[in-house]
Amino acid sequence: MAVKQEFKSFDDLVGGTEEPILVDFYADWCGPCQMMSKILVQVGAEMKGEIKVVKVDTEKYPQIASQHQIHALPTLLLFNKGESVDRIEGVLTADQLISRVRGVLGGNA
């Protein structure tokens, strides 16, 4: 399940854990983001214990979106040990997203 949470520092959020984090940059008005939200619930459930899924509202955190050069929504960034290791723009199916994340993380996410 994707987690909506407040945070003081984005770097602390993505770097403060050994668990890889998939960050969904979205906006409430974005239709494809709403589609992706349901897919991320599936991905989060299937990959529980492998990754953490976090949502970042680009309307509330424009400075974070700008820092990570988010120009299209939805954009997903995969962080591993605090480093961005993959970027996905647009909508993927749950199977496509799971396959891509596991591929990037070496299958042992």
Contacts by residues 41-50 (CB-CB < 8 Å, ≥ 24 positions apart): 41/1, 41/2, 42/94, 43/94, 43/97, 43/98, 43/101, 44/1, 44/2, 45/1, 46/94, 46/98, 47/98, 47/101, 47/109, 50/19, 50/20, 50/101, 50/102, 50/105, 50/109
Provide the annotated active-site residues. Answer: 30, 33
